[in-house]
Chains A and B, each alone.
Chain A
């Protein structure tokens, strides 16, 4: 059971970063974003596009070549593209919806449509093949009591550092305070001189950049697939709900817990020979949490029934 702990931590860091992003967006805008997984996949696909060797004609219906940039540069560029994409979504789609007073449920259905649309654009233009980043293979090593490759250990550390910096920014800067103000009441914060449109735009950008980063992590640890975001989306919901929807710190811990639970459950006696069903464990936990402690581990009480 313990041998799965390393895998659990790695799945945890992906879910954790993505959950913080999802939770931030929900906290400020009250949008349950089903298209979140597609922004995650965008991070991975753009990195693949920037970094793969030029003679690697797989992308874009076999017509175009990737750019062959340095890998670190590619990651940064991909995260920026994700941020821009988030800004585009907010300005072109969600801001008009908000101004038109479209209800929460309608927006939720719109994000589902958006998710299906974008995902199949990826299928069309980035092929249905499973692809890997152009990185050399590494051997697993033992750190303390878990096994992982040095590169994955770096991913784990980088993810935790990014989330800590992010949490610090949200808690102590003026921007973070403004975000919380907009969350509590858009009108009241506008009266106090906060430009709520800008705050929501910044929220979209930072949430999308974090999601893109999560996608890069997922692709380094596993691989790039056109539907990678949707495959992990429900686990991200589970992580967010477990930690308490709308709280960044909670989402961080919840994400790790879900990741570890999913991987460790493979080692449970009744799961022997049923490893395919491991995600069902996490989803069942999410449902139980929603029923018995809907505010999650760290969330504040709120009427959700």
Chain B
């Protein structure tokens, strides 16, 4: 396989940003790095799923947070957990791996349910419908307190994953002074990315993958070849939603408690920024995009702390979003293909 200059540049930039973390944080760099690599892994996985929607098939999905949310809520609620105002304990439940599979399938099913009616809409209308559907999902989850814990959220579920933590993680974490539970989530996230990427690489070269990209380029031509374009789009919607569901579960395990505020539209826009940065239509792009993105985010937080001494916590947290907005705008105007994408593979006009 020939390695392109773009790829080398992406690797270099990623390496440089990780170096920056060490350079800017004389103390506790390894802990900061673990934290941002965990987030990068989880969001990167989600961005890979979004790329199946937008990059491969050209579906303008702005409700990605809801797919992550469905995966997370279904999985957590099927396992032993505590939820709601009183912290009502559910002590029985399915083992982690079974609950996870059901969670991923539910996210894919939600993708199908949303996709069935919405997929016939033109690009910009699909954007509005998906973002509205994601908000409906969030409002309902917040409202159905008896099932989902509402605003009080879900707690005491992390043990379901942590009990499978292998011993070497404990030893390893002790020597590097970071939290073993986060190190385990991080490892699981990156192993998931590895398998997802291998799986998608295979799909991409299959007749199915080629048909999917053909839908993005010219839907009528696909129809003329006797392929069912709508069903192809739906399959793509389900596949991307399933991957998002998996990343939602991992996000929940990284947080340690799940609240509805996690799945606000801003989460979707984070994932969009990562996807555009990495390269729309690529498979590995979001991985690089995600690491660079999270280095920028975590260092911005420190910079904001120094720059705006009068600001309160909410305002400091706002500085990173300021940057996310700017990043999305600048990338879309100056380099819509991101680090690894190809310009000719971008769907930028309404079809």
Contact = CB atoms under 8 A, between A and B. Distances in A.
Interface of A: 32, 61-63, 97, 102-106, 108-110, 112-121, 123-124, 127-128, 234, 237-238, 241, 274, 276-277, 279-280, 283-284, 286-287, 290-291, 294, 303-305
A33 B128 CA distance: 11
Interface of B: 60, 62, 117-118, 120-125, 127-129, 131-133, 135-136, 139-140, 142-143, 266, 269, 272, 276, 308, 310-312, 314-315, 318-319, 321-322, 324-330, 332-333, 336, 347-350
Contacts of A304: 121-122, 125
A102 B136 CA distance: 32
A109 to B, nearest CB: 5
Given A124-B319, A277-B139, A283-B136, A103 B325 contact: no
Given A105-B349, A106-B336, A287 B269 contact: no
B321 A116 contact: yes
B133 A287 contact: yes
A104 B336 CA distance: 13
A121 B323 CA distance: 10
Given A113-B332, A116-B321, A117-B326, A123 B315 contact: yes
A82 B239 CA distance: 43
Contacts of B315: 61, 123-124, 127-128
A119 B265 CA distance: 13
Nearest to A117: B325
21 contacts: A102-B348, A104-B123, A105-B350, A106-B336, A106-B349, A109-B272, A110-B328, A113-B326, A115-B325, A116-B321, A116-B325, A119-B321, A120-B325, A124-B311, A124-B315, A234-B132, A279-B135, A283-B135, A287-B132, A290-B128, A305-B122
Interface on chain B toward A: helix, strand, loop, or mixed SS?
A: helix
A102 B333 contact: yes
A103 B348 contact: yes
Going nearest first, the 6 A-B pairs with the smallest beta carbon separation are A117-B325, A113-B328, A116-B325, A103-B349, A103-B348, A113-B329
A239 to B, nearest CB: 12
Nearest to B128: A237
A271 B127 CA distance: 28
Given A105-B350, A276-B139, A305-B122, A62 B310 contact: yes
Contacts of A276: 139, 142-143
B328 A109 contact: yes
Contacts of B272: 109, 112
Nearest to A31: B124
A270 B180 CA distance: 46
A164 B329 CA distance: 36
Nearest to B58: A105
Contacts of B127: 32, 108
Nearest to B137: A280
B325 A279 contact: no
A97 B322 CA distance: 21
A277 B132 CA distance: 13
Given A61-B308, A61-B311, A102-B348, A234 B135 contact: yes
Interface centre among A113, A291, A294 (most CB of B within 10 A): A113
A58 to B, nearest CB: 12
A109 B139 contact: no
B349 A104 contact: yes
Nearest to A282: B132
Nearest to B127: A108
A32 B124 contact: yes
B269 A112 contact: yes
Interface centre among B266, B276, B308, B329 (most CB of A within 10 A): B329
A255 B180 CA distance: 53
Contact of B310 (A63, A119, A121, A286): A63
A290 B125 contact: yes
A105 B324 contact: no
A64 B98 CA distance: 57
A207 to B, nearest CB: 17
Contacts of B325: 113-120
Contacts of A106: 332-333, 336, 348-349
Contact of B324 (A116, A234, A291, A294): A116
Contact of B327 (A113, A127, A274): A113
Contacts of A241: 128
